[in-house]
Chain A
Amino acid sequence: MSTPVPFLLGLADDALVTAQRLGWWISRAPELEEDVALANIGLDQLGQARGLYAVVAELEGAGRTEDDLAYLRGPAEFRNVLLVERPQEDFAVCVVRMLLLAAWQVEVYAALAAREGPARGVAAKAVKEVAYHLDHAAQWVLRLGDGTPLSHERTRAALEAEWPHLPELLEPDATAPVDPATLREAVLGRVLPVLEQATLTVPPLPAAPPTGGRAGHHTEHLTDLLAQMQQVARAHPGATW
């Protein structure tokens, strides 16, 4: 019998890495109101990761905790998509990426919440949160895309950089409780109208879009991210915090 563990771990890792990236923005956002908004979104993503790690730990039955899963796995054991691990120190990248990720998360969590399964409770809560993230991202993509010539150009460049990473989210996974390939139309149905309203053109996809995250093949950005995230915890093995 197939187990949903790898899929749920991927979902959890997406959320944790996203929270880690969003944490960077707190004290660096374009306006104080946005510091608060991005922190809210980061906290939601972090909460989703914790909820999913608890489910994974329970299913594994090996006595691992959420912190074991977050702090004691190396990059090759992380299952997040490449989309979320790359740096995002440009506000346009931040909101374009959030649009793509949240559009996907909304569909995944909605599907998980609609069926029996160990992640149903977490998903039912998460779907409301990511709907807000999707809205926040859409609001900003619209304003930046249809703002000034400079903001349009920066958002176009951000879309060009992020768009090739969308296919990895939609790769088929027959063992997953929700096969991401079946979500393709729904996800595009959420993203494309926003891009159109924002006067942005959908960039072409490369012949072979980047992939590998779900199998543990990452960029060096994840190594750096985890080195920082795990630094204190790993320097004190067995310690309580």
Chain B
Amino acid sequence: MDRSTTVEPRDPMPEGYRRTLVRQIAQHAHSEIIGMQPEGEWISRAPSLRRKAILMAKVQDEAGHGLYLYAAAETLGTPRADLLEALHAGRQKYSSIFNYPTLTWADVGAIGWLVDGAAIVNQVPLCRCSYGPYARAMVRICKEESFHQRQGFEILHTLARGTAEQRAMAQDAVDRFWWPSLMMFGPPDADSPNTEQSMAWGIKRFTNDELRQRFVDIAVPQAEALGLTLPDPELRWDEDRGHWHFGTPDFAELAEVVAGRGPCNADRLAHRVRAHEDGAWVREAAAAHAAKRAAREPAA
């Protein structure tokens, strides 16, 4: 394949390329809609009306982003309904980060700052991905997400300058979300069998470890600005490399969560399946009504 050309839906493409794209876009879409849950739980409890509005708009964006991504996958011939079925049956994955619980309001801040921050580092290169519909969806998503990380940072910044309890809440959230955020970049390059092929196809532009390093380099000075500590005793500036040196995430834990044994896997999937099943009668009613109307107005 020619790496300089954008591939569009009707173009011939290698079957492996198509399959890899469907898998990656679907996983990305699933992550957006499962990702609505941990933060969505806090819409009802947001401690100010301004925060409530911001969070509602953010979780709404995640629904929208899931929608754009399912639409991108649909251009490859896989309907949204099929992808949702694969998610519900556990045949397709979503980002493991959403299998960690949100225990306090500060977690909403930590998700915005760290999880969205890591997602942005992952996503920006995807705006130049070789598949046109995916790249275009990512452009729109990245544009819309620019407020997500900022609002998270602002939450933590406010908490870190608040009461002793608020400050402790912020530190605790960062302590819990730091390592899972680093794991969002996937296994180390040495254990990432698909990376090389995905890079050759122009689906991926950087390796997992490159992106992880980039994220750490961005996050460390931001943590300083917040006045919060990152829970890594090995963290130090490496003059020779010109990067921050950091410890190794617990990839065994990542493997466990990916395998479905994280703290919230079962809850997240059950919530999603229940929403889908509870909505079936509504979707069917609307389809039935449309069919009735079409029958009433023949050849309008």
Contact = CB atoms under 8 A, between A and B. Distances in A.
Bound together: yes
B36 A26 contact: yes
Interface string B142-164: 00000000000001001100110
Contacts of A47: 53
Contacts of B46: 232
Nearest to A198: B289
A142 interface: yes
A27 interface: yes
A32 interface: yes
Contacts of A33: 67
Contacts of A150: 281, 284-285
Interface stretch (B57-65, B124-132, B178-186, B241-249): B57-65
Interface in B240-292: 271-272, 274-275, 278-286, 288-289, 292
Contact of B284 (A23, A147, A229): A147
A32 B44 contact: no
B163 A23 contact: no
B11 interface: no
Interface in A17-43: 19-20, 23-24, 26-36, 39-40, 42-43
B214 interface: no
A241 to B, nearest CB: 4
Interface string A220-236: 00000000110111001
Contacts of B289: 142-143, 146-147
Interface stretch (A64-72, A99-107, A117-125, A204-212): A64-72
A49 B49 contact: yes
Contacts of B36: 26-27, 35
Given A32-B33, A70-B49, A240-B158, A23 B44 contact: yes
A154 interface: yes
Contacts of B155: 241
Contacts of A43: 53, 56-57, 60
Interface in B25-78: 33, 36-37, 40, 43-53, 56-57, 59-60, 63-64, 66-67, 70
Nearest to A144: B285
Contact of B44 (A24, A28, A144, A148): A24
Contacts of B279: 29-31, 34, 91
Contacts of B165: 236, 239
Contacts of A238: 163
A146 B292 contact: yes
A50 interface: yes
A146 B281 CA distance: 13
B273 to A, nearest CB: 11
Contact of B158 (A36, A40, A146, A241): A241
Given A27-B275, A146-B292, A240-B162, A36 B60 contact: yes
A231 B37 CA distance: 19
Interface residues of A, number: 49
A88 interface: no
Contacts of A49: 49
Contact of B56 (A46, A67, A146, A231): A46
Contacts of B215: none
Given A143-B285, A146-B292, A26 B49 contact: no
Given A148-B281, A231-B45, A32 B163 contact: no
B105 interface: yes
A229 B56 CA distance: 14
A39 B292 contact: no
Contacts of B158: 240-241
B168 to A, nearest CB: 11
B24 interface: no
A32 B162 contact: no
B185 to A, nearest CB: 25
Nearest to B37: A27
Given A43-B56, A229-B44, A241 B285 contact: no
Given A143-B285, A147-B288, 14 more contacts: A23-B43, A28-B278, A31-B279, A32-B63, A32-B70, A39-B60, A43-B53, A67-B48, A91-B278, A148-B281, A148-B284, A150-B285, A236-B47, A240-B162
28 contacts: A19-B52, A23-B40, A23-B43, A23-B44, A30-B275, A30-B280, A31-B283, A34-B279, A35-B60, A35-B63, A36-B63, A39-B60, A42-B56, A67-B48, A67-B49, A70-B49, A91-B279, A143-B289, A144-B286, A146-B292, A147-B285, A150-B284, A151-B281, A151-B288, A232-B46, A236-B47, A238-B163, A241-B158
Interface of B: 33, 36-37, 40, 43-53, 56-57, 59-60, 63-64, 66-67, 70, 80, 105, 155, 158-159, 162-163, 165-166, 271-272, 274-275, 278-286, 288-289, 292
7 closest cross-chain pairs (CB), A and B: A30-B279, A147-B285, A151-B285, A39-B60, A30-B282, A35-B63, A23-B43
